[in-house]
Chain A
């Protein structure tokens, strides 16, 4: 599915060049959950951003190849990359609230992805059910604009009534009246094909009342629900691969268990490949089949989950496993690798 060969990424900073990745090799097969663990600053996230070319301006891929289904996308054009992001590889970020746009409803955000990657499907559905494609016939400005118009009208009406010139307020009364009339006339018009697709995407991640959630803003949802919406967005483009960058770090353990279960279920249903990036070895042990351990921009060990936790070969993996409290009160063995210094 995804193959990363000898990837090298540098960051150019004022203090000199930071070699974030020093030759990373990864192969993720079809229908596999692959875990990538490491400490802060070890290069886990940079690996995934380099693969999707989402690096900030200071970052630069200086060597290596990225192959997606055999196609070399290392030097792919921006147009091709736009197709890949969301269409072939979906991505979930750590903090759902900062990854979702706070001034767009869930409907608009998922709709955006569907229009970009699933346009033909939407049109098909529209012609099949004989419903509008993108927008329902409902002429509706955003609630903010409607509220502003109403407020203006009402303040002018009251101003003219106070001045004793009721007739001047008649045009404003007319506008308010028309707004109510429009809502009344248009209440039975069906949803568009796009709306139906959004609702379908939301019910795939087991959200209750998808219709209501589609109309809400991200801050109105709880953390677990926001992360579910993120997953729905990542899946909306029918991606065959999912990159999850610390998907559960911001959540409680009980909610974390739900989200991990959801990712596992969806992976099985759609036979997707998942790259799970995390610093929590427990999460990896529970979810993944294969795991790679990163340290200072390199992969130091890669194996199946059972083998890596039963018989860790590399010194760093052993140190990392020893540092976790595992019941019992004996003193923790502190890894002698020291704290992650500057690279």
Chain B
């Protein structure tokens, strides 16, 4: 077992919903008690559908949003015993700067992450300038570009002159400029074609080996997650419903949602047993008004319609409203946790 580099304890982030008068009427529970431990040099995957809190989790990890409660505890590896506190929320501005040097981010849409009016050399050297590492900057930028399979000839070009895959390489080069220990990858390949996706995934694996990087890999594509990650957390409505090593989770899923998610992924194996998940994605809004507060656990109208339509077709199904009940996390196997009865 290797060292943990970061641990998240009981993290909650609730966004208030206001009415016209400015009083809170409801909460969007984007994160509702997340506990995770991230190991050094490994890839930690987070899956879930849109609106389950993946991105909010990433943003709280970078302290781009302040959590409502709970904490992110940094290891000595990151703090290097120079910070007053290991708790992310208690860092001073100066410490936060040095923390952000240790953590790089790659976003989903590379064109949105690159300034269209900056040259590649300026884009990649920007973090170096901000953190005052301006010695031999040109050589450093060329080295970074070489690392990701680009070269000196690309220095004086604009982002629009590159293809999608190359743009993502530039974003990765920029994220690596300050030699971070952790790289947060938010759906890095979802905007790319499969062949380009394969190139980027291979590149990420090479870089991880070379620099002993820790990846936090957010995706909704399970085949990519299975290929990249060592450990995996499945999120649903702001909570982690299952967490296990990738192989264990893919061979032995316990939570009904994980099972449905695994079987919903389009697959080449037609005989594989299918579990349909019925109903629409529930809204994460919780009303403060008691009468509206509870998420319905009984079957809704749409679900009843859908059940009727697939009856007698030999398909297994689960109903979404049955997932709204909150159960405690239980150990169901070796380092395998799930919220099941």
Contacts and interface: CB of A to CB of B under 8 A. Distances in A.
A324 B194 contact: yes
B301 interface: yes
A250 B126 CA distance: 33
B266 A40 contact: no
A254 B267 contact: no
B50 A282 contact: no
Nearest to B201: A332
A256 B195 contact: no
Contact of B310 (A255, A261, A326): A261
Q: What class of interface size applies to chain B in its complex with A?
A: 35 or more
Interface stretch (A26-34, A121-129, A142-150, A205-213): A205-213
Interface stretch (A9-17, A56-64, A231-239, A335-343): A335-343
A149 B121 CA distance: 58
B99 to A, nearest CB: 31
B27 interface: no
A258 interface: yes
A281 B302 CA distance: 30
Contacts of A85: none
Nearest to A330: B227
Contacts of B274: 257
Contact of A224 (B280, B301, B304): B280
B250 interface: yes
A27 B223 CA distance: 32
Q: Which of B198, B224, B261, B277 has the most CB of A within 10 A?
A: B198
A253 B198 contact: no
Given A208-B302, A323-B194, A331-B205, A286 B267 contact: yes
Given A39-B195, A282-B268, A334 B202 contact: yes
B100 to A, nearest CB: 31
A332 B227 contact: yes
Nearest to A326: B223
A183 interface: no
A326 to B, nearest CB: 7
A324 B198 CA distance: 7
Interface in B188-218: 193-199, 201-202, 205
B306 interface: yes
Interface string A273-301: 00000011111011000000000000000
A164 interface: no
Contacts of B165: 339
Nearest to A284: B266
A279 B196 CA distance: 13
A325 B280 contact: no
A134 interface: no
Interface in A19-43: 39-40
Nearest to B162: A339
Interface size class of A (residues with CB under 8 A): 35 or more
B280 A340 contact: no
B195 A323 contact: yes
A252 B194 contact: no
A331 B202 contact: yes
Interface in B19-69: 49-50
Given A286-B267, A286-B270, A334 B224 contact: no
Contact of B280 (A222, A337, A339): A222
Interface string A304-335: 00000100000000011011111111011111
A265 interface: yes
Contacts of B17: none
Contacts of B193: 39-40, 279, 340
Contact of B49 (A253, A319, A322, A335): A253
A254 B198 contact: no
Contacts of A252: 49-50, 220, 281
Interface string A248-273: 00001111111011000100000000
Nearest to A262: B309
Given A222-B280, A282-B265, A209 B301 contact: yes
13 contacts: A39-B193, A206-B309, A224-B281, A252-B220, A258-B276, A281-B266, A282-B265, A285-B268, A319-B195, A323-B198, A331-B202, A332-B227, A339-B165
9 A-B pairs with least C-beta separation: A282-B266, A325-B227, A208-B302, A252-B49, A323-B198, A208-B301, A257-B264, A332-B198, A39-B193
Given A325-B198, A327-B223, 20 more contacts: A207-B302, A207-B305, A208-B301, A208-B302, A208-B305, A253-B266, A255-B280, A257-B277, A258-B277, A260-B266, A279-B194, A286-B266, A322-B198, A323-B197, A325-B223, A325-B224, A328-B227, A332-B201, A339-B163, A339-B195
Interface of A: 39-40, 206-209, 222, 224-225, 252-258, 260-261, 265, 279-283, 285-286, 309, 319-320, 322-329, 331-335, 337, 339-341
Interface of B: 49-50, 163-166, 193-199, 201-202, 205, 220, 222-224, 226-228, 250, 260-261, 264-268, 270, 274, 276-278, 280-281, 300-302, 304-306, 309-310
